[in-house]
Structure 1
Amino acid sequence: MWNGVACGLLAGAMWGMVFIVPELLSAFTPVEMAVGRYTAYGAIALGLMLPRIKRLISRLDRSDCLALVRHALAGNIVYYMLLALGVQLAGVAPTSLIIGVLPISVTLMGRKDHGAVPLRQLAMPLLVTATGIACINIDVFTHAQAAGGSLWHTTLGVLCAAGALACWSWYTLDNARYLKQHHHFSSAEWSALYGLSSGLIALVLGGIAFAIWHADITGAAGAASGRDWTAFWITNGLLALGASVIGNHFWNIASRRVPVTLSGQLILFETLFALLYGFIYKQQWPRLLEVAAIVLLTCGVLWSVRVHALEEEVHGG
């Protein structure tokens, strides 16, 4: 189980980067960012699986194809478009911390799965986690109001973040359940197929978007306007490699090695790393309530890990 926890931590470190990229590429739309990221992801996945692509595709059955399509949409493309729009409208901290509710939503949704720890044993860790999330949201919205930000933009950003939360909650459970029930692909193989399906869907989406709206600024004028396509593809290529290829591979390993209720808690690492990267990017120290939230979220995760470890020892012995 501890190898699964370590893989969950590493996945969170990779995924935390996705909250900074919309700030770096603010001149681009969420659709463009999603298409760029997942086209790059698909290209990398294709390169990795090229020597054995025929053998892998021949092993796909109808249920595998349906799973890959729904996971690519819910867990990648739609999720990331909503996340990017949430970051652009409401900011990194509100978006990352609304999505940080995932441990609670996934734990509650997966409470009847095999191997799940009874909720009464998780009541205190979840309470600590909820308190941490409450602290950071109080801080974020208090400062947003004091800064005189647009209420409409903030509200729309919050709704987008909530939509991203719904997408990822469903994807997390469905992916974990599918991997536990189907063992004919390794974690690396499934991650590569997942990336390829995401890339193909992104290409289709990009083609539709280009057909509808294809006006653009390129060259020196594009760079001056912030729409620097060289920076766009370099950033998305690095994000695809780090967050999508490496991060998803670590997460697939974690999903197979820990109960669903614990995998929900491990997603908090993404929130913590997103906050860390955000503070570094803005070159500022966290405020008091932000520090309290980080401490509480960390304690909640570690407490939950400990509860699961004790439960595993009891049933294993």
Structure 2
Amino acid sequence: MHHPTEQQNLGKGIAYGIGAGALWGLVFLAPELIPNFTPMEMAGSRYVLYGLFAAAMVAPRWRVLSHTVSLRTWYTLTWLSFAGNTAYYILLASAVQNGGMTTTTLVIGFLPVLVTLIGSRDKNAVPLRQLLPSILLCLAGAGCIGWQALHTHVHSTARAPLLGLLCAVAALGSWTLYAVGNSRALVRQRHFSAHDWNLLTGLATGAQNVVLLPLALMLDSTSHGLDQWRNFALVSAGVALLASIGGNALWNRMNQLLPLTLVGQMILSETLFSLCYGFIWEQRLPTGTEALAIACVVSGVLLCVHAHRKPSAQALNRSTA
């Protein structure tokens, strides 16, 4: 059997991943709450606030923390911030506004497959054949959501379905790059806590969007009322605090406890929560197809967890050697 500490870390990591998914799922709802603002404005405001919140939280320890941040670390934080935050959120918001929430959720739902396939090549990773059932269930769930989207909601909510699909695929690639890169960076940068790494990411992301936000505001010729600006500020602040500060911190902690093959599956929690929030927003229950998709996703995650709990013969041989 596995050492009790390993089992405890597995349970904690899964709990952190579910918590991150619950907070990140709100990101899919935000463009629906402030539809009169552009994706660049939403990304810029969210991440400027993320940077400000991070700066306020890191300030008391900055003198000590700054000595551990090298130029190479800042380079890593910069490209991770762009791939996982700035570029991803612009593409995601564009996908939701043009293609609809359901189609976007479908495409992003393929993240676990990509990340798990990449993680299966890591040293001492669970063999891909043991992960195949969970991957197939994930694909089946995504297929169910896609069938539902193509036959119902896309035709009634999408502005530009093809553009929305392209943006969603680009967002998928951007966040896959971030998920793999961030997981491996946390392994290399073990002297940073998950919380400190998140705050440093916030500083890098905020710096990028100090430039983006004024540009986005200048490019938007739409006239907004006072109530719209108030909602824009409240939604941006809420997403920055809940999804960026809270969700990212939980996700980073999970990355320190789980292998990349299981990290990939935990991304599905974001998909599940975003679907639930979408049902609440649309004031309806899931259809039979959507319920089947949710069952496939949950079953896939449970099978993946089981595969990581069950020691392989190679692991047993190493422990007895």
- Out of 56, 61, 67, the position equivalent to 2:76 is 67
- Out of 152, 157, 161, the position equivalent to 1:143 is 152
Q: Which amino acid aligns with 1:248?
A: N
Partner deviation per Cα, 1:210-235 (whole Å, 9 max, x = no partner)? 4x5365535xx454xxxx11111111
In structure 1, how many angstroms separate the alpha carbons of the residues matched to 2:255 and 2:167?
26
Q: CA distance change for structure 1 residues 256 and 232 in 2, over 3 Å: closer, same or farther? A: same
Contact 2:100 2:158 in 1 (8 A): no
Residues 1:27 and 2:36 are matched in the alignment: yes
> Cα offset for 1:55?
2.3
Residue 182 of structure 1 is matched in structure 2 by 189
Residue 50 of structure 2 is matched in structure 1 by 41
Partner deviation per Cα, 1:201-259 (whole Å, 9 max, x = no partner)? 1111123334x5365535xx454xxxx11111111111111100010000001101111
Contact 2:97 2:158 in 1 (8 A): no
Alignment of 1:1-317 (within 5 A): 1-144=10-153, 147=156, 153-210=160-217, 213=219, 215=221, 217-218=223-224, 221-223=225-227, 228-311=228-311, 315=315
SS of 1:165 mapped into structure 2 = helix
TM-score, length basis structure 2: 0.91
Partner deviation per Cα, 1:89-137 (whole Å, 9 max, x = no partner)? 1111110121010110111122211332111111111111111111110
Q: Which amino acid aligns with 2:40?
A: V
Partner deviation per Cα, 1:267-305 (whole Å, 9 max, x = no partner)? 000000000001011101111100000010010011101
In structure 2, how many angstroms separate the alpha carbons of the residues matched to 1:209 and 1:21?
17
In structure 2, how many angstroms separate the alpha carbons of the residues matched to 1:314 and 1:5?
24
Q: Which moved more, 1:118-127 or 1:258-267?
A: 118-127
> Cα offset for 1:314?
7.7
Identity percentage of aligned residues: 39
SS of 1:257 mapped into structure 2 = coil
In structure 2, how many angstroms separate the alpha carbons of the residues matched to 1:73 and 1:113?
25
Contact 2:108 2:168 in 1 (8 A): yes
Contact 2:137 2:300 in 1 (8 A): yes
**How many pairs are equivalent?**
308
SS of 1:28 mapped into structure 2 = coil
Instruction: Report the RMSD for the aligned CA atoms in angstroms.
Output: 1.8
SS of 1:311 mapped into structure 2 = coil
> Cα offset for 1:149?
5.6
> Cα offset for 1:312?
7.5
TM-score, length basis structure 1: 0.92
In structure 1, how many angstroms separate the alpha carbons of the residues matched to 2:270 and 2:311?
25
Partner deviation per Cα, 1:138-185 (whole Å, 9 max, x = no partner)? 1111114664966xx111101101111101111000000110122121
Contact 2:38 2:220 in 1 (8 A): no
Q: Which amino acid aligns with 1:293?
A: A
- What runs of 5+ residues in structure 1 fail to find an aligned partner? none
After TM superposition, the runs of 4+ consecutive aligned structure 1 residues lying more than 4 A away are 144-150
- What runs of 5+ residues in structure 2 fail to find an aligned partner? 1-9
Contact 1:115 1:259 in 2 (8 A): no
SS of 2:293 mapped into structure 1 = helix
